[in-house]
Amino acid sequence: MSYMSAVDVKARKKALKKIERAFSKLVKDILSGKAPTLVIRKRTLANTVFDAERGLLRIGNATLRRSFLNAGEAKKFMQTVLIASIIHEALKNDEYPTIRDLYYRGKHTIRFRDLVTSRIREENTWDEQKESDSVIRDLEVLIDMLREEMLILSKEKGKVVGDMRIKSGDDIIDLSKMGHGAYSIEPTPDFIEFKDVNAEFVLVIEKDAVFQQLHRAGFWKKYKALLITSAGQPDRATRRFVRRLSDELGLPIYILTDADPYGWYIYSVFKVGSITLSYESERLATPSARFLGVSMIDIFGSDKLKKKPYLTEAERKNYIIKATDTDIKRAKELKSYEWFRTKRWLEEINIFLKKKAKLEIEALTSKGLRFLMDTYIPEKIETGDWIA
Amino acid sequence: MASEATAEKFRALTPSEFFYRNRELAGFSNPARALYQAVRELVENALDATDPHGIHPTIKVILQKVSAERDNIFSISVEDNGIGIPSAQVPRAFGQLLYSSKYVLRQTRGMFGLGAKMAVLYGQMTTGKSVEVLTSTITAKNIYYFNIAIDVKTNTPIIHEKGVYRKNNGWHGTVVKLYLEGDWTRSKSKIYEYLKRTAIIAPYAEIVFEDPDGTITYFERSTRKMPPPPREVKPHPKGVDIEMMKMMLKATKAKTLLEFLIKEFQSIGEVTARRLIKNAGLLPDMKPHELSTEDVERLVRVIKSDTKIKPPSANHLSYVGEEIIKVGLKAILKPEFVTAVTRKPSVYEGHAFIVEAGLAYGGEIQPEDRPVLYRYANKIPLLYDEGADVARKVVDRIDWSHYGVTFPAPLVILVHICSTKVPYKGVGKESVADVPEVEHEMELAIREVARRLKRYLSKKKREREEAERAVAIAKYIPDVARGLAKIVNNVKEEMIEKELLKMLNMKLKSFKINSVSDVVVSIE
Ligand SMILES: Nc1ncnc2c1ncn2[C@@H]1O[C@H](COP(=O)(O)OP(=O)(O)OP(=O)(O)O)[C@@H](O)[C@H]1O
Ligand SMILES: [Mg+2]
């Protein structure tokens, strides 16, 4: 008898088939004397397209041809085949490798003779995990499947609590009964089944510490929210989970980050996707996500928008941190991205560039957890004071 | 008193006295140089007695310390299998300066009639010992032995001893043995270098050398091919000056001026002879000895300015040839690449000459900061005064990076000039003068071999790059084949491996990989 959940079994079959199809074609080419070539869409900024209509980043149509008989491409070709065969084997053996496992399984030493000097040399199939990670991404693009769908796991980072029940594997989990803890969003969120939910919106918080404070203070109960933290840059599972909450449950998604370019980019990754992994956005981005704060106007106010700041002159003095050169550079970069070139965002960025000041969410809890929980967040949601 | 003190005393010097006083002119300046020079003169005489006569040289050189007490006295013995010396000539050949069989227009190593005698003279001066010669010509029935000294005052040989032995085998050749003061430590490297370079230019010779330390070096014969023997030629009119013309007019047996010009010179036929005579305002049937000094001057001037005389022929010259140069460089230097070129004959001041260049690169040659130059004239290695030699000037002028060479590099350039009159800078025969025509030919020859090196290096580079590219692919074949065979059902790893290698080999131009295991040693 099998202890495996039914969804996993189905996923394995599908992934195996896709890998086999892609590489059978290659073998057929080889056996008929055709140079084996992998055609993979490029994962570069230049080949990243912002689909304004759908509000997300997509991978463009530019492809790279990786021919085994080209000395410059042979190694990457070998690595791609190698990773595919290891993943294929793991799928067949009902395993759940992590990307770190895959790195170790594929790593071995080739001892070869240099025909020029006749000396024996050594080379590893790969040296750093960066290299195996990179061909995993290539494989995802090649067979049009995310690694989670191939049952490859990675570290869990995202957490969720709220009045909601889900089915993970063969178990029902009540997200409202997590005590002081929270449910770690599993690496394969596509296999989660949403059972029932009693929430009106989703609040995603960049900072784990702030998430915990709001959780313990009972924020989600009081305001009928699902509370999520990405604990910094969101991993793919958290993004996919948020996307599903938006798509399948129609819940509005609010994102709360630090008031700095780093926080803005976290928001942007949730909303439109990331540049290097633009091929995933189709499944991971949540174009309807809203930037709740902390905004520059929250800090400084705006005469034009007739908005008063949430901070007093004295609080600003205490909480504001001076922007670094990298912050400034990053802000200027963001300003050049098409999806940041909206009126409201340019305003934000320009205030930042003028004031050269940033602020952490923790500053708001310092002003008072109550202020954050009962004033700042609800008021902003109620008055629609967010950036779409 | 005053007039007596300032009165000059006049007297004549014999050649032997002159060279006794000025021995450094002939290379015998100090014990180290003298030892080297003596070896060289005797070896060159041995070679002159062999290869121009179609004999494959076998030469034995023995250098020994005479006694344990005095470590600066040496004996030199050089034995050859050459044509030998007629017994009547032996005393003067070794005991009278400026006596030679090579005062004819024929390309030989020797030309001054000095070499052997300088060694004898120097030995006599420093050790008091005379020279011993054992010789037999090819047709002689006897072997002759002589012990000879030079009477320096009169430049005549003194025969101390003479012996005649019946020859009961076919031996012919010469053994010369003499004693002299030398400095082995300081001449050792030069003597070895000299013999090595001799072996390079004459790979058809077999040379054995036993040095004073008892070390025996054997340069084996690496080819039986020999250069064409040099032939004696008549002088070319453009190479003859007033004095020489006078001598020739006096010595000729020709009855008329016309006959004299046609018979005694190369490149002059009847038409040319008549034109020259007419232009000089002379008459064809004048008797040769009737020409006045002015007539001779005019004739020589007309010849010098005549533009229609055929250039001197070069078929009397004995060049080494591309093949032998390559064999020699290869056998001694063991390079990775070797090439040689023999230029067409050319002319300077009425003398025909041929320049040859060889080039050896890589292999066992040690990299140096500039090209190592091996200079030769009439097959003699030139070791001293390299800086003054025109060949060095030419080699240094060339931008070698243009030919794909960056220094330090393992590059040896051989330059050989052969002529009946090599324009040496001195009687020591150590460097060739800057004659524009010679310089030009050397440059063309060196650039030609340099171009071939460039072609070789760029071909090698292309091949190396191709091999690198091939390995960059081949080393991954096993992993790719295994990976694909694991994913796709019903295909054998070996099958994929075979096909991939086949496709790779199809792309390769300069070589093929027989089996993946030639490249991949193991996967672990
Ligand atoms: N080994 C030998 N075999 C045959 N003949 C010899 C040998 N050594 C010397 N001779 C004869 O003795 C002559 C004198 O030799 P010597 O070396 O003094 O002068 P050279 O060779 O004519 O000129 P150079 O001074 O340029 O060497 C030679 O011309 C040659 O005829
Ligand atoms: Mg001589």
Please report the DSSP string for B465-495 in residue order. HHHHHHHHHHTTHHHHHHHHHHHSTT--HHH
**Which sequence spans correspond to the domains of chain B?**
16-219, 237-305, 322-456, 475-518
Residue A1's pLDDT is what?
A: 44
- pLDDT level of residue B104 (50, 70, 90 thresholds): confident
Let me know: does B39 contact B76? Beta carbons within 8 Å. yes
Mean pLDDT of chain B: 93
The tokens for A147 are 């690694």
- Quick one: DSSP state of residue A47? G
The CATH number for B16-219, chosen from 3.30.565.10, 3.40.50.300, 3.30.559.10, 3.30.1360.200, is: 3.30.565.10
Q: Is the pLDDT of residue B277 over 80?
A: yes
Residues of B with CB below 8 A from A115's CB? Answer: 467-468, 470-471, 511, 513, 518-519
**What amino acid is encoded at B338 in this protein?**
V
Residue B276's pLDDT is what?
A: 95
Closest CA to B520 of A5, A137, A121: A121
How many other CB atoms are there within 10 angstroms of residue B389's CB atom? 23
d(C-alpha B369, C-alpha B372), whole Å: 9
ipTM rounded to 2 decimals: 0.78
The tokens for B394 are 């030419």
Closest CA to B414 of B386, B382, B451, B376: B376
Residue A140's pLDDT is what?
A: 92
d(C-alpha B475, C-alpha B55), whole Å: 57
| Residue B114: CA count within 13 A, CB half-sphere | 21
Of A20, A30, A72, the CB nearest to B487: A20
Nearest CA in chain B to A109: B524
Architecture (CATH level 2) of domain B237-305: Orthogonal Bundle (1.10)
Q: From the CA of B430, how many Å to the nearest CA of chain A?
A: 42
d(C-alpha B299, C-alpha A147), whole Å: 103
Q: Is the pLDDT of residue B1 over 70?
A: no
**Strands B142-151 vs B131-136: parallel, antiparallel or unpaired:** antiparallel
d(C-alpha A43, C-alpha A61), whole Å: 10
Residue whose pair of structure tokens reads 């003298």 in the numeric block? B34
How many other CB atoms are there within 10 angstroms of residue B472's CB atom? 18
- In terms of Cβ atoms closer than 10 Å to its own Cβ (0-12, 13-18, 19+), residue A52 is exposed
In order of their start, the domains of chain A are 6-150 (1.10.10.10), 159-382 (3.40.1360.10)
Instruction: Give the ligand with the smallest distance to the CA of B44.
Output: 2
Ligand 1 mutation target, pool B19, B25, B100, most atoms within 8 A of CB:
B100
Residue B3's pLDDT is what?
A: 56
For residue A361, give every residue at least 6 positions away whose Cβ sits within 8 Å of its Cβ, in sequence order, or none.
A205, A206, A207, A210, A256, A257, A258, A294, A372
Helix axes A74-92, B477-487, angle to 10 degrees: 30
Inter-chain residue contact B521 with A35, CB threshold 8 Å: no
Q: CA torsion sign, A296 to A297 to A298 to A302?
A: positive
**Strands A201-205 vs B372-377: parallel, antiparallel or unpaired:** unpaired
Instruction: Give the ligand with the smallest distance to the CA of B111.
Output: 1
How many other CB atoms are there within 10 angstroms of residue B63's CB atom? 22
The tokens for B443 are 């440059």
Q: CA torsion sign, B205 to B208 to B209 to B215?
A: positive
Looking at the complex, does the CB of residue A21 fall below 8 Å from at least one CB of chain B? no
- Quick one: DSSP state of residue A189? G
Helix axes B477-487, B493-507, angle to 10 degrees: 140
Q: Which atom of ligand 1 is nearest to the CA of B174?
A: 1
Which of B463, B488, B497 to mutate to probe the A interface, most A CBs <10 Å? B488
B408: preceding bond cis by omega (within 30 degrees): yes
Residues of B with CB below 8 A from A26's CB? Answer: 484
Residue B319's pLDDT is what?
A: 93
Residue B314's pLDDT is what?
A: 80
B280-300 confidence digits (pLDDT tens) = 999 999 999 999 999 999 999
Average pLDDT over residues B321-348: 95
Q: B41: Cβ below 6 Å to ligand 1?
A: yes
B176-190 confidence digits (pLDDT tens) = 999 999 999 999 999
d(C-alpha B513, C-alpha B468), whole Å: 12
Phi, psi of B380 (to 5 degrees): -95, 130
In order of A116, B333, B335, B469, B513, the CA distances from B462 in angstroms are: 12, 25, 20, 10, 17
d(C-alpha B219, C-alpha B213), whole Å: 18
Q: Which pTM does this prediction carry? A: 0.70
Looking at the complex, does the CB of residue A117 fall below 8 Å from at least one CB of chain B? no
Q: What are the beta bridge partners of residue B217?
A: B209
| Catalytic residue list contains A279 | no
Inter-chain residue contact A115 with B519, CB threshold 8 Å: yes
Inter-chain residue contact B479 with A36, CB threshold 8 Å: no
* CATH entry 3.90.79.10 includes domain B322-456: no
Nearest CA in chain B to A27: B484
Let me know: does A129 contact A123? Beta carbons within 8 Å. no
B521: preceding bond cis by omega (within 30 degrees): no
Rounded to the nearest 5 percent, the helix, strand and coil shares of chain B are 40, 20, 40
d(C-alpha B243, C-alpha B249), whole Å: 10
d(C-alpha A276, C-alpha A59), whole Å: 9
Q: What are the beta bridge partners of residue B397?
A: none
Inter-chain residue contact B524 with A71, CB threshold 8 Å: no
Let me know: does B372 contact B346? Beta carbons within 8 Å. no
Instruction: Give the ligand with the smallest distance to the CA of B116.
Output: 1
Q: What are the beta bridge partners of residue B520?
A: A112
Helix axes B322-333, B184-201, angle to 10 degrees: 140
d(C-alpha A352, C-alpha B139), whole Å: 113
The tokens for A127 are 């040296």
Of A27, A110, A125, the CB nearest to B488: A27
Q: Is the pLDDT of residue B2 over 60?
A: no
Output the CA torsion A61→A66→A70→A74 (10° steps).
150
Looking at the complex, does the CB of residue A19 fall below 8 Å from at least one CB of chain B? yes
Residue A293's pLDDT is what?
A: 81
Q: Is the pLDDT of residue B59 over 90?
A: yes
In order of A123, A145, B484, B515, the CA distances from A79 in angstroms are: 13, 18, 12, 22
d(C-alpha B511, C-alpha B490), whole Å: 33
**What amino acid is encoded at B59 in this protein?**
I
Which of B461, B473, B497, B501 to mutate to probe the A interface, most A CBs <10 Å? B473
Average pLDDT over residues B206-213: 97
Of A68, A84, A111, the CB nearest to B521: A111
Helix (H/G/I), strand (E/B), else coil: B157: strand
Distance B348 CA to ligand 1 centre (A): 27
How many other CB atoms are there within 10 angstroms of residue A313's CB atom? 7
The tokens for B240 are 């003859």
- In terms of Cβ atoms closer than 10 Å to its own Cβ (0-12, 13-18, 19+), residue A1 is exposed
Residues of chain A with pLDDT below 50 are 1
Distance B55 CA to ligand 1 centre (A): 17
Closest CA to B140 of B101, B83, B59, B81: B83
- pLDDT level of residue B5 (50, 70, 90 thresholds): low
> Is B16-219's fold the same as B322-456's?
no
**What amino acid is encoded at B340 in this protein?**
A
Let me know: does B205 contact B51? Beta carbons within 8 Å. yes
Average pLDDT over residues B88-110: 91
Helix (H/G/I), strand (E/B), else coil: A48: strand
Closest CA to A202 of A169, A167, A159: A159
Closest CA to A360 of A350, A370, A372, A349: A372
d(C-alpha B345, C-alpha B313), whole Å: 8
